Structure 1
Amino acid sequence: MFLQELFGLFSLSAFFMWGFLMAFFFNIFVYSIGLKKGTTLLFSSFVMMCSYTLSDYFFTWLSFKNSFYLNFALYDIATITALLCLYKIVKKTTPSFLYLVLGLSINTTFFLLMHLDLIIYQNKEHWWLWDAYMYSVNLIDITMIVALIVDRDILGLHKLKNAIRTLLNPSANSRMP
């Protein structure tokens, strides 16, 4: 729990909330000067900014009591749902969309595992899952912020997705002349 001791729980939360807010402001700026004509990135960054602002520690009126990790899992599921509804409406994605949905899905899995470990099983002994949770969730949040700002395939996830799709459906490539 080195990061938590170094920065504190609230300052990391504020940092990520600020990061998504800045990504949203950056996308408003890029859209307003006409560099990006599509609104998908703008809407995606708005959804992420709203999600992280509403799920911040200061807004606990929608939270379940004594279910810290379950609250975050539910917020992430709601955010994924909002992003997928946005996709159904706009019918267009940006490179950052895959990073957002995949990152939120991984974070949700970690939140549910931590809820299971700490609340359901009432484990009090520190073990590797806690460190994996802390570093992974924070790294994924930073990656999502960067993906919203640069809007590029920064980790090669789209190339990996296309390679897997090609491996699973090789007949699609054989039809090409």
Structure 2
Amino acid sequence: MGCIFTSLSLGLHFDTVILIGMFLAALLNIFFYVSNISKNVSLLVTSIVMASSYFTSNHFIDLSGSTKNIYISWIGYDLLTISLILIIHKIFTQKTCTAARYVIVGLSLNALLCLFLHIDLRVLENRDPWWFWYFYTLAINTIDVIMVAALILDRDFLGAKIIKNRVRNYFSKRHKTISA
């Protein structure tokens, strides 16, 4: 008998891979902190919060029952995780590291995508697959992988700072031209 994977089962398996990635990133950062390799409290806190968040959302959201408001639940988890990261940074008076900024942006994008999918499925009651469903799946998983990589590397490997500076310079030059 052959093994048949559905998109749901593949998604659950990929969620497990992401969960393991978050857990390993947290363990790595704990090891670096304890070993005095890196005393980056921001990275340590962010990786522990992310591993905890993904563990809880993976284990306490039941996908076998009613999934009517599953996307709202995931939005809640993302917003709660962002809030925890920011609050803990404030308590420990830590400046957010590169990984924390990547995670905050990634969770914000995930929450936005979940909101759009919730609107499509529950408000508009769309039942026909269309390009956004495939984009959602690809984007959510890509963002999760990027967040795991950011927690391990703590580098601006996508060049977000360069892009941000170029966009800022473009609009500041454009604004000066219009004002003059």
**Which residue number in structure 2 is paired with residue 127 of structure 1?**
130
1-structure distance, mates of 2:37, 2:171: 37
Gaps of 5+ in 2: 174-180
Aligned length: 165
Aligned-pair distance for 1:164?
3.7
How large is the Cα RMSD of the aligned pairs?
2.2
Equivalent position of 1:139 in the other structure: 142
Structure 2 partner of 1:163: 166
How far the C-alpha of 1:38 sits from its partner, in A, is 2.3
TM-score (norm 2): 0.83
Q: How far apart in 1 are the matches of 2:96 and 2:24?
A: 20
The amino acid across from 2:157 in the alignment is I
Instruction: Name the CA distance, whole Å, in 2 between partners of 1:76 and 1:44.
Output: 13
Partner in structure 2 of residue 75 of structure 1:
77
Q: Alignment identity in percent?
A: 34
Q: 1:34 aligns with which of 33, 36, 45?
A: 36
The 5-angstrom pairing of residues 47-126 of structure 1 reads: 47-56=49-58, 58-60=59-61, 66-89=68-91, 90-126=93-129
For 1:59, give the aligned amino acid.
F
Secondary structure (helix, strand or coil) at the match of 1:123 reads coil
Deviation at 1:159, TM superposition (A): 2.1
Partner of 1:9: 11
Aligned equivalents of 1:30, 1:163: Cα separation in 2: 34
Moved more, 82-91 or 44-53: 82-91
Query: Structure 1 length as normaliser, TM-score?
Result: 0.84
Higher mean displacement: 155-164 or 36-45: 155-164
Cα deviations by residue, 1:1-29 (Å, 9 ceiling, x for unpaired):
xx963962321111111110000001011
Paired amino acid for 1:144: M
**Which residue in 2 is equivalent to 1:173?**
none
- Structure 1 residues not aligned, in runs of 5+: 171-177
SS of alignment partner, residue 114 of structure 2: helix
- Relative to structure 1, the CA distance from residue 153 to residue 116 in structure 2 (aligned partners, 3 Å threshold; closer, same or farther) is same
